[in-house]
Amino acid sequence: MLAGLVGCGPAAPSIKIDGSSTVYPLSEAVAEEFTRSGARVNVTVGQSGTGGGFKKFSALEIDLCDASRPIKPDEAKRCVAAGLDYLELVVAYDGIAIVVHPDNDWCAELSVDQLAAIWRPDGPVRRWNELDPAWPDHEIRLYGPGTDSGTFDYFTEEIVGEPRSCRPDFTASEDDNVLVTGISKDRHALGYFGFAYYEENAERLGLVGVKPTDDAAAVLPSLETIRSNAYTPLSRPLLVYVGRPVLERSVGLEFVRFYLANAGGLATEVGYVPVPTEIAEKNLQKLNRALTATVEPTPKVGASSLSEVPRS
* Residue 32 binds another protein (CB under 8 A): yes
Is residue 146 a contact point for another protein (CB under 8 A)?
Answer: yes
Of these, 20, 22, 25, 197, which contacts another protein (CB under 8 A)? 25
**Checking phi first, is residue 296 left (phi over 0); if not, alpha (psi -120 to 50) or beta?**
beta
Q: Which helix (H) or strand (E) holds 30?
A: helix 24-36
Least distance (Å) between residue 285 CB and another protein: 29
For the bound state, the minimum distance from the C-beta of residue 199 to another protein, rounded and expressed in Å, comes to: 19
* 35 scored as a contact of another protein (CB under 8 A): yes
Q: Which string of b and e fits 268-290 if b means at least 16 CB within 10 Å?
A: eebbbbbbbeebbeebeebbeeb
Helices (H), 142-217: 150-155, 176-184, 195-200
Asked if residue 134 binds another protein (CB under 8 A), the reply is no
Return the range that interacts with another protein (CB under 8 A); candidates 38-46, 97-105, 231-239, 285-293: 38-46
Among 19, 20, 29, 63, the residue binding another protein under the rule CB under 8 A is: 29
Query: Which of residues 157 and 308 has its CB atom nearest to another protein in the complex?
Result: 157
Q: Which residues contact 205 (CB under 8 A, 6 or more apart)?
A: 99, 100, 101, 102, 180, 183, 184, 198
CA 200 to chain centre: 18
Q: How far apart are CA 61 and CA 208, in angstroms?
A: 43
Closest CB to another protein among 12 and 134?
A: 12
Which parts of this chain interact with another protein (CB under 8 A)?
2-3, 6-12, 14, 16-18, 24-25, 27-29, 31-32, 35, 42-48, 56, 59, 61, 145-146, 148-149, 174-175, 270
